[in-house]
Every structure is written in C-alpha cells, then in structure tokens.
Amino acid sequence: MPPNKQSKFENYYKWSKLDNNLTTDGENLFCQVCSKSVSLNDIGDHYIWTSVDETTDCRGRYIANFVVGKLSEQEPGKAYLLASKEIPQTNHKTVANFFDDCLRTFLSMID
C-alpha cells in the first residue's frame, strides 16, 4: 500500500505550532497578530502573489512579515498576513530564509 499523504489540515497544525502567533480551527489559519483568517477555499486554484516586508518596530527589533494574496481577473484580491517573526537582522540571508520557510509551509498546505 502507498504511504498516506498528509492532509492540508495536518500541515496547518504543524505550521501554526511553529509560530505562537498562528492558530487554526482545521479549515482556517488565524494570525493573532492581525486578527484575520485565511481560508484555503478563498484562494482555491487561483494564482497567488507573495511578499515579504521587513521593518523595525518601535523597540528597535527587526520584524519580517509574510503576505499572500489571490490573483483574479474578476475581482480584487485580498491580502493576508500569514506570518510575522522577529529576525536577528535584516539582511538578504535572514529575509530569504524567512521567505523560504513561509513559502514552503504555505505551498505544502495547498497541495
């Protein structure tokens, strides 16, 4: 028998456990930082866009944010903040590692 493929909801749980700001109810991923949720049903089979924003907060900490949105010709897409993490410094290596981790996790959920 072939091995069982993990469901997208199992991947939700794994990803949300990596970051204390994320929780899930099995169908939606909630970002507690921005009090919004993302439904995979909203994104569906559409193309997506992603962005990483790096900033410094009022305490001088470096923060990276991972944003994803749906591309659609019929309607304007929504943008969702999926991850926000303090990083040690803002250089190409730390930002690229953050983006890579977030993108791998997000894409594994929609497979």
63 touches 45 (CB < 8 A): no
Domain ranges of the chain: 8-110
Q: Which among 12, 46, 47 has a CA at the least distance from the CA of 26?
A: 12
User: What is the per-residue pLDDT for 52?
Assistant: 92
Number of Cα atoms under 13 Å in the Cβ half of residue 107? 10
Q: Does the pTM of the predicted model rise above 0.75?
A: no
Taking CA atoms, 30 is separated from 16, 43, 83, in Å, by 9, 15, 10
Q: Report which listed range, 19-33, 41-55, 80-94, is most confident.
A: 80-94
Q: What is the dihedral of CA 77, 49, 87, 16, to 10 degrees?
A: 70
19 or 108: which leads in pLDDT: 108
pLDDT digits (tens, 9 = 90+) for 50-106: 899 898 888 888 888 888 888 888 888 778 888 888 888 888 999 999 898 888 877
Q: Which strands, in side-by-side order, build the sheet including 48-56?
A: 48-56, 62-70, 79-87
Instruction: State which amino acid sits at residue 110.
Output: I
Contact present, 77 and 68 (Cβ < 8 Å): no
